[in-house]
A and B are shown apart, each in its own frame.
Chain A
Amino acid sequence: MNSLLSGQPDSISANQYLFLRAHRRHHHQVGFARFLLIVAFLSLWELAASRQWIDVFFFSSPSGIVTYLYQMLLDHSFFTHTGITLLETIASFLLVTLISLLTATLLWYVNSLAEVLEPYLVILNSLPKSALAPLLIVWLGTGTNTIIVAGISVAVFGSVINLYTGFGQADPEMLKLIYTLGGTRRDALFKVILPSSIPLILSNMKVNIGLSLVGVIIGEFLAARRGLGYLIIYGSQVFQLNMVITSIIILCAIAMAFYKLIQSLEHHYRKKN
């Protein structure tokens, strides 16, 4: 195929141009299908509510949610509740990342300590963390600290196990190289283990941000007077389903924003390397 197709730049072949065009078309089709799905769902929901096929008292409606969200923005409760949940989630996430990195490093550094602690970590990780929340309230009272600790408790044990296991899977020949060049175990940690584990640390952060949010919401269910978790539990108790669903939608947006943030960090790292 020698002649140029319409819109084909000189720098690429006709077949490459056709491939790129097909790829773009597929990409647009997927995006359009996603958009269509959500519009169809919301339209059907709104229609069902307006025709009274469903009871709006129990199922709410998209227009009711938008109205409630507008009210929240007007009386600033949106910023108060979303802000406190965001703050608690970020604090939990940062602490989980720091604690799990330090603990996994220590466990890698001191093998015998890892052998001793491994079963305890597995048990603590398997424990349903909502079972710990009442204990945390008794020990720490109600408030932000308890909720942050609840957020940490959900993510930290799995994160430590994941990082420690990843550190242990470093290529032994690379460690041997460090030792043959006169390096120490500390050098192996800083020159091989940590740099080679950056993709693992980033993917672990992606999991942690979601789990921290889960923990914070569990904490807010039980020990808060502010936050999206409090709104969800309070809304369900007083049958304000608009409040519950609006809070859940805000939570979805927060989770997606956090995920995208870590993903962009990951992209940045990959591009750099």
Chain B
Amino acid sequence: MQPILSLQDISYAYHNLKGETPALSDISFDVSQGEFLAIVGPSGCGKSTLLSIIAGLLSPEEGTVYYRGKCVADCGLNDTVKIGYMLQRDHLFEWRTIYQNVILGLELNHTLTPENRDYVLKLLRDYDLYAFKDKKPSELSGGMRQRAALIRTMAIHPDLLLLDEPFSALDSQTRLNVSADIAQIIRQTNKTAILITHDLSEAVTLADRVLVLSRRPACIKCEMPICFDIDRHDPMAIRNTAEYQLYFNHLWEVLTNEQSSLRST
């Protein structure tokens, strides 16, 4: 089956007057329809840069991004694929109500049709936020705000979800619950997702496959498919399995080696 997303030999460097900082080097991978891919790597290795390139916010210096086999550079991102991007913080606008926040993407895409309004209301009901639709973001808890941010992302019917450490601002208990909820929603709707995270547990618990990036300039250090026999919705049950320990230990080893080589240089 043709992958929904394909990156081929992507390289990128940041430039300023002091010189050049290579961020990514020859990164290639495919993502299939409905797959949940997690990307982990040392701090500052270029994970968010990679996501920005996939989202079309940055153009790679070398290499090509293909969506459903079409080169983005040739036909434009918006004509090819709809991207849903979740950032580290929810960034709900305080001057808008929750409902006005979640329809932001529809407004920007000029697709605020009655059908889409109904869809947004359904999402609000499904994610237990309907009663809060006329509230301001500051009146909601951290977990509720992140769910509202997910609805804002889902409202535009994205083909591909890019999750840039979306749970990092939450406390650990909320993080565990919200990440499991959001992963469940993504699976139920058969969305394709790429998750950037520092948290190995999160990567192993949520993803179908984990890519480990090396230190900067990032290249793919290791690729590990993840498979569990039990239901993925219960994060604690997964954490108690033997497979989880194996996956986690392996990823830990790869990353520790990477950190050691960084220190020795």
Contacts and interface: CB of A to CB of B under 8 A. Distances in A.
B87 A176 contact: yes
B91 A195 contact: no
Given A173-B88, A182-B109, A273-B136, A192 B93 contact: yes
Contacts of A176: 57, 85, 87
Given A182-B156, A195-B93, A273-B94, A187 B108 contact: yes
A187 B156 CA distance: 16
B108 A181 contact: yes
Nearest to B155: A181
Contact of B156 (A177, A179, A181, A196): A181
A106 B109 CA distance: 24
Contacts of B83: 180
A177 B156 CA distance: 13
Interface in B76-95: 78, 82-85, 87-89, 91, 93-95
Given A173-B87, A273-B136, A182 B95 contact: no
Contacts of B217: none
> What does DSSP make chain B's interface, helix, strand, loop or mixed?
loop
B213 interface: no
A182 B91 contact: no
A273 B94 CA distance: 8
A267 interface: no
Interface in B87-129: 87-89, 91, 93-96, 104-105, 107-109
Contact of B57 (A171, A179, A191): A179
Given A176-B57, A273-B136, A181 B91 contact: no
B55 interface: yes
Q: What is the interface residue range for chain B against chain A?
A: 20 to 34
Contacts of B88: 173
A174 interface: yes
Contacts of B78: 182
A183 interface: yes
Interface in A195-229: 195-196, 198
Contacts of B136: 273
Nearest to B88: A173
A8 B248 CA distance: 61
Contacts of A174: 91, 93
Give the interface centre of B82, B93, B136, B152 by most chain A CB atoms within 10 Å. Answer: B93
Nearest to B156: A181
A251 to B, nearest CB: 36
Interface residues of A, number: 18
Contact of A173 (B82, B89, B105, B152): B89
Given A181-B104, A182-B78, A182-B109, A171 B91 contact: yes
A178 interface: yes
Interface string A125-141: 00000000000000000
- The interface centre, meaning the residue of A171, A178, A182 with most chain B CB atoms within 10 A of its CB, is A182
A75 to B, nearest CB: 50
Q: Which of the listed residues B57, B108, B162 has the most CB atoms from chain A within 10 Å of its own CB?
A: B108
Given A187-B108, A191-B104, A191-B108, A181 B85 contact: yes
Contacts of A182: 78, 82, 105, 108-109, 156
Interface string B67-82: 0000000000010001
B159 to A, nearest CB: 13
Contacts of A198: 95
B109 A181 contact: yes
Nearest to A178: B108
A150 to B, nearest CB: 36
Interface string A249-264: 0000000000000000
A196 B55 CA distance: 25
Given A179-B57, A182-B105, A273-B136, A195 B95 contact: yes
Contacts of A183: 108
B168 to A, nearest CB: 13
13 contacts: A173-B89, A177-B85, A177-B91, A180-B55, A180-B57, A180-B162, A181-B105, A181-B109, A182-B108, A191-B93, A191-B107, A273-B94, A273-B95
Given A191-B108, A196-B95, 12 more contacts: A173-B88, A173-B89, A174-B91, A180-B83, A180-B85, A180-B87, A181-B104, A181-B105, A182-B78, A191-B107, A195-B95, A273-B94
